[in-house]
Amino acid sequence: MTTAPARTEPGPTDIRGRVAELGALRIQASAGPSERATETQHAKGKLTARERIELLLDQGSFQEVEQLRRHRATGFGLETRRPYTDGVVTGWGTVDGRTVFVYAHDFRIFGGALGEAHAEKIHKIMDMALAAGAPLVSLNDGAGARIQEGVSALAGYGGIFQRNTRASGVIPQISVMLGPCAGGAAYSPALTDFVFMVRDTSQMFITGPDVVKAVTGEEISQNGLGGADAHAETSGVAHFAYDDEESCLAEVRYLISLLPSNNRENPPSCPADDPADRRGEVLLDLVPADGNRPYDMHRVVEELVDDGEYLEVHERWAPNIICALARLDGEAVGIVANQPLSMAGVLDIKASEKAARFVQMCDAFNIPLVTLVDVPGFLPGVDQEHGGIIRHGAKLLYAYCNATVPRISLILRKAYGGAYIVMDSQSIGADLTYAWPTNEIAVMGAEGAANVVFRRQIARADDPEAMRERMVKEYRTELMHPYYAAERGLVDDVVDPVETREVLIRSLKMLRAKYAELPSRKHGNPPQ
């Protein structure tokens, strides 16, 4: 690794000489340690820190901070290896003309490991992002703490975590995993709003495969333990996973376009070519009236939002619920929807956690919520009960009850039991609740309800099955017809499915200036 030579004689004394010297130092700092190090990085299928920043930010907008910073550590040969930037590139630029702060680990320098100077650069850019009220993106590709600097490196991580927490809900924080992230370093991404990963080249874990094998005897690869697919499908740590860095960073830009710069602003509007009053005739055929027949809720979302475009969060984790960012008439919205194609759309532990975090994020950043309901209940089972479905389901309930952004719920078909209440029902504070003529709002399905309510009549009947069918029909007719909830004021209106998009847009426009005040308190104590 090359480094700046120690100065043994005075440099230039005239201004032009000094400027030339500065230019040479900048070239050296920008180029990195060596061509060989760059080639090694590229051979791994990875871009350099500056190449990544160029893809993320608008062309020519990056303004670097502390490019000439070098560490002051000694021992273990560090005093002879003092490269500029100290392995992290920090600064700000723009995405679609809006200010965004960024720091990017440079794996070519000390493997991107964090030392004292390295950490102080990150601390500074995090403080600047919070003070400026602008999003912060971290491009992570580092080998953890710089062992040669000992506890000073660990303290540097503590400062990052403290700032992650202080900025939570104030500015959007996005972590992009583009290389290894092990040990305590993994907690910073976990504290941020969104985590992106790239397949094959990025990994996150607290203890690596070697330690796992030594302690438990289990053998597993790095990607199997903490790769993009593992975290996108199994752990839920990663919100997004992509095949390459270029598509990953393009999606980061798209996400930023849907978010406000900070919690004091609304998300940016975008001119809409899709007519607000566009009728959704295909919805009549997309959703079967028979509540036992599945359908793809993604197609409903596509039909409702502008140009059919949306960004799904946690697409492959807990697929029985959909969480997505989209636009309605050019305004950003968060969509939460049950997915009948997966587990019939029931709420379970993972789905409750996924939706709760998404609702909290939308509420923090002034993004209105639209909830599409088709839920048969909570998933029954010993594993779910012992796993804490009560407290995990309560997380979603708490998130909705605590949210002050505009909230609209639309009941497409089933809305049974406690799951109906939890999915942003009117009783927990939804501003407007609509339903399609196919809705069934009830304590439980007609078959189960009839078995409980009319069990004696069924048991005494000469033909129990015929009596059961009769009682099911009677219960459905009396208590589950599509206008029962509307008659009691629990649904604001029953709408024609083809008019849903127009109804949602008009309602959100009315609610845009909504003001809601929470009780004075330090913070709540949500279920964990």
- Residues marked as catalytic: 183-184, 418-419
Rounded to whole angstroms, the Cα distance separating 426 from 492 reads: 9
Long-range contact set of residues 32-36: C-beta below 8 Å, sequence gap at least 24: 32/106, 32/108, 32/109, 33/1, 33/2, 33/3, 33/83, 33/108, 33/109, 34/1, 34/2, 34/108
DSSP letters for 240-267:
EEESSHHHHHHHHHHHHHTS-SSTTSPP
Phi, psi of 95 (to 5 degrees): -125, 115
Residue with structure tokens 């697929």? 319
> Two tokens at 250?
């393009």
CA torsion 68-120-132-60 (nearest 10°) is 30
Structure tokens at 36: 């060989």
Phi, psi of 183 (to 5 degrees): 70, -145
> Which among 232, 255, 228, 231 has a CA at the least distance from the CA of 243?
228
H/E stretch holding 204 reads: strand 203-205
- CA–CA separation, 491 vs 482, rounded Å? 10
Which region holds residue 59: left if phi is over 0, alpha if psi is between -120 and 50, else beta? beta
User: 101 with 89: CB under 8 angstroms?
Assistant: no
DSSP tag of 178: -
